[in-house]
């Protein structure tokens, strides 16, 4: 199974970008750890360069990653420029990055743009955590912390951001994300949660998906809808 290294930017004495009492270090720790919990549900191992509001140097971050072998290194950030001037998301790879880095960056960027963030594109940069890490690496800037519109999206669509990032990361490592539908009320009054893992016009394809889910330990069956 895949092993990932998650890096939550700044922390401790380094708050990162700040605006109206809001800290980048807090935002990325919160959202990043939630994404980690989501992907871990699928058996993916996630190690974190920090798990609290602690000061971690750039060297400590890259050294942490270099001590192990990871499939990907993902650094979470929020941008800053001038109050209410810039907005949007951008995802970075190192200069002349490997195909795997570019592929993951593209998936992450697409997932966030789909939620309403302005698309600032996939870019290259000579950042320490991209340059000094061994695994294919990306750094994502989840909107501008000094833009009220981006903050509104970050807060109101928190669950969608977590889900979108998790889906993008899982897709890159070859794991299918399983959608959980809204709860329905059973006749007995008990709330049930139905899990959807795809809809198929060909029964054979549906049967293959059920077999795949069962082999992964999920209880699955075919339900017919007209």
Q: 143 and 63 in one domain?
A: yes
Which candidate, 150, 78, 68, 147, places its Cα nearest to that of 113? 150
Which candidate, 162, 165, 163, 190, places its Cα nearest to that of 72? 165
Q: 183 and 99 in one domain?
A: no
Pair 82, 146: CB distance under 8 Å = yes
Query: Taking all residues of the chain, what is their mean pLDDT, rounded to a whole number?
Result: 91
For the whole prediction, is pTM greater than 0.75? yes
Token pair for 225: 């809808």
Lowest mean pLDDT among 74-78, 131-135, 197-201: 197-201
Confidence of residue 109 (pLDDT cuts 50, 70, 90): very high
Check 132, 141, 187, 207 and give the catalytic one: 141
Q: 183 and 91 in one domain?
A: no
Q: Is residue 166 part of a domain?
A: yes
Residue keyed to tokens 């989840």: 142
Say if residue 187's pLDDT is above 60: no
Catalytic site includes residue 160:
no
Q: How many domains does the chain have?
A: 2
Angle at 28 between CA 33 and CA 197, to 5 degrees: 50
Instruction: Say how many C-beta atoms besides its own lie within 10 A of residue 1's C-beta.
Output: 9
According to DSSP, the β-strands at 137-144 and 22-23 are unpaired
Percent of the chain with pLDDT over 90: 78
Give the residue numbers spanning the domain of 57: 3-172
Residue keyed to tokens 């394809």: 205
Q: 124 and 38 in one domain?
A: yes
Average pLDDT over residues 38-59: 97
């Amino acid at each position: 199974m895949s092993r990932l290294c998650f890096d939550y930017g700044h922390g401790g004495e380094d708050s990162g970008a700040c605006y109206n009492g809001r800290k980048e270090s807090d935002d990325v720790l919160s959202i990043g750890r939630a994404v980690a919990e989501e992907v871990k549900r699928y058996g993916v191992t996630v190690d974190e360069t920090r798990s609290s509001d602690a000061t971690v140097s750039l060297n400590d971050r890259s050294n942490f990653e270099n001590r192990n072998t990871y499939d990907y290194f993902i650094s979470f950030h929020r941008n800053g420029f001038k109050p209410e001037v810039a907005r949007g998301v951008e995802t970075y790879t190192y200069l002349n990055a490997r195909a795997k880095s570019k592929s993951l960056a593209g998936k992450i960027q697409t997932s966030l743009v789909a939620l309403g963030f302005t698309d600032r594109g996939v870019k290259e940069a000579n950042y320490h955590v991209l340059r000094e890490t061994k695994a294919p690496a990306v750094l994502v800037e989840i909107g501008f912390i000094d833009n009220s519109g981006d903050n509104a999206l970050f807060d109101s669509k928190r669950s969608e951001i977590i889900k979108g990032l998790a889906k993008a990361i899982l897709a890159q490592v070859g794991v299918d994300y399983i959608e959980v539908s809204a709860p329905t009320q059973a006749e007995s009054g008990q709330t049930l949660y139905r899990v959807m893992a795809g809809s198929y016009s060909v029964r054979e394809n549906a049967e293959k998906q059920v077999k795949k889910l069962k082999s992964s330990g999920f209880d699955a069956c075919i339900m017919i809808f007209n």
